[in-house]
Amino acid sequence: MPDLTRFPITQRWPAKHPERLQLYSTPTPNGVKVSIMLEETGLPYEPHFIDIGKDETWTDAFLSLNPNGKIPAILDPSGPDGQPLGLFESGAILVYLAEKTGMFLPDGPQRYKVLQWVFFQMGGIGPMFGQLGFFHRFAGREYEDKRPRDRYAKESARLLGVLEGQLANNAFIAGPEYTIADIAMLGWVRNLIGFYDAGELVNYAELEAVPRWLETCLARAAVERGLTIPARP
């Protein structure tokens, strides 16, 4: 039985099953990347709901695992060389889990094509869609000056255009197969047109390939499950 007691986060969120991978997260676009990946791979894991509304990511316990104070983070009791491994940053976690299981990240040149799209999401889709969500859906909507909102809407529409072009001749983001690039992207596109209600701002109705791809991804049973994990209290 692995000993996880040396990790302070397990004092705040105790592991009922310390032999399983521990997930500390919230079902946000970044958070569901990891829960979907875990559901897709079938790795045994134990989810812990982190209440970002109550600033739980800024507690000493959470910061001991992720000094950046963001979800998601994991603690794998069976890491490299059999030693426990704590890890944060959703993109890094996706790559780690793909390598651990040998799933959703091909070998050879295709590996780097997948990774380039993961980084595209991390550097573009996530930050831009998130800012648009703030200025359109959250507190920013009260600002009379709409230039910030419109700036992010324009860039988000451009990024969707990049995806539309890529998906016009490919079933999935990086080619014919479903990979961690799709897992990284789907929650953000879903939120943009759903929770953020920004579809009209980015001309989503004019797209064809992106909606088809999103529908295909959301129809996967593991995706459907992962989108609600960890369950909110």
Q: Please write the tens of the pLDDT for every residue from 137-177.
A: 998 989 999 999 999 999 999 999 999 999 999 999 999 99
| Per-residue model confidence (pLDDT) at position 233 | 86
Q: Which of 165, 227, 157 is nearest to 193 (CA)?
A: 157
- Does 120 share its domain with 136? yes
Residue 77's domain is classified under what CATH number?
A: 3.40.30.10
- Residue located via tokens 């004019």: 206
- pLDDT band at residue 4 under the 50/70/90 scheme: confident
- Does 114 share its domain with 99? no
Q: Which of 159, 155, 169, 83 is nearest to 121 (CA)?
A: 159
- Of 38, 71, 103, which marks where a domain is finished? 103
Whole-number Å distance between alpha carbons of 92 and 89: 5
Q: Which of 196, 130, 179 is nearest to 159 (CA)?
A: 130
- Does 123 share its domain with 41? no
| Per-residue model confidence (pLDDT) at position 52 | 97
Predicted TM-score (pTM) above 0.85:
yes
Strands (E) located in 62-184: 73-76, 85-88
Residue 34: is its pLDDT beyond 70?
A: yes
Q: Which of 212, 106, 117 is nearest to 168 (CA)?
A: 212
Range of the domain at 207: 109-223
Domain membership of residue 37 (yes or no) is: yes
- pLDDT band at residue 1 under the 50/70/90 scheme: low
- Does 93 share its domain with 159? no
Domain count of the fold of the chain: 2
- Does 76 share its domain with 115? no
- Of 86, 103, 120, which marks where a domain is finished? 103
Cβ(192)–Cβ(132) under 8 Å? Answer: yes
Domain membership of residue 39 (yes or no) is: yes
- Of 80, 103, 126, which marks where a domain is finished? 103
- Does 122 share its domain with 205? yes
- The mean pLDDT of 7-13, rounded to a whole number, is 97
- Does 114 share its domain with 219? yes
Q: Which residues contact 89 (CB under 8 A, 6 or more apart)?
A: 68
Whole-number Å distance between alpha carbons of 109 and 98: 16
Torsion of CA 151, 135, 121, 218, to 10 degrees: -130
- The mean pLDDT of 185-192, rounded to a whole number, is 98
- The mean pLDDT of 200-211, rounded to a whole number, is 98
| Per-residue model confidence (pLDDT) at position 3 | 79
Domain membership of residue 231 (yes or no) is: no
